[in-house]
Structure formats: structure tokens, C-alpha cells
Structure 1
Amino acid sequence: MAMIGTGYRYDRGKVTVALRNLSYNFNGRGDSSLDMRMTGFAAGVTFPF
């Protein structure tokens, strides 16, 4: 799993943007195997109160 991102802090909150990657390698019996990768963006906003 890997994640990289950046954020910015304002007077009233924070904004965060990130790119994440999650990879799996399943090895089964015989010839069965599965390689899977999930990649996507994540965004968040935080408001303190």
C-alpha cells in the first residue's frame, strides 16, 4: 500500500488531496492466481469547532 498527498490549511479549516495505491497478489493451487491493483484519488475537508 502506498499513499502520497498534500494539504493546505486555511483560517477556518484544512483541505487534503491524496493518491493511493493498493496491490494484492493471490497465489492459488495449480495455475490459479489473481493480481489486483486498486488506485484512486482521495479528498478531504476538515473544519475545527
Structure 2
Amino acid sequence: KQYHPIFDFDSKRWRDLNIKTRYYNTQLHVGSFALPNYVEELLEDVEEIG
């Protein structure tokens, strides 16, 4: 099975682990996969060609 980094992410499970970090949090996890609009548009163009 392949996992999707956002849709398969279980933020409740992460919180239940009660791991304290100075950098990582669940909002950062989701945000790290965000792309600027122009990149999203470029990817859509590539998908149409392929």
C-alpha cells in the first residue's frame, strides 16, 4: 500500500504519542506539502499532456 502524506496522516495518533518537539507539529506536517499556485498549475498542465 502507498500512503498519502496528508490524507493518511493521523494527527490524533501523533498527539496521543505525546512527543514534545520544538519544531514539528501537525500543522507544519500538512503545510510542508503545500505548493504555490503557479506550481499547481504547471503540474496540471503536465498531467494533461501525460
Give the TM-score range, shorter chain. under 0.3
TM-score by length of 2: 0.25
More strand by share: 1
TM-score by length of 1: 0.25
Larger RCO: 1 or 2 (CA < 8 Å, sep 6+) = 2
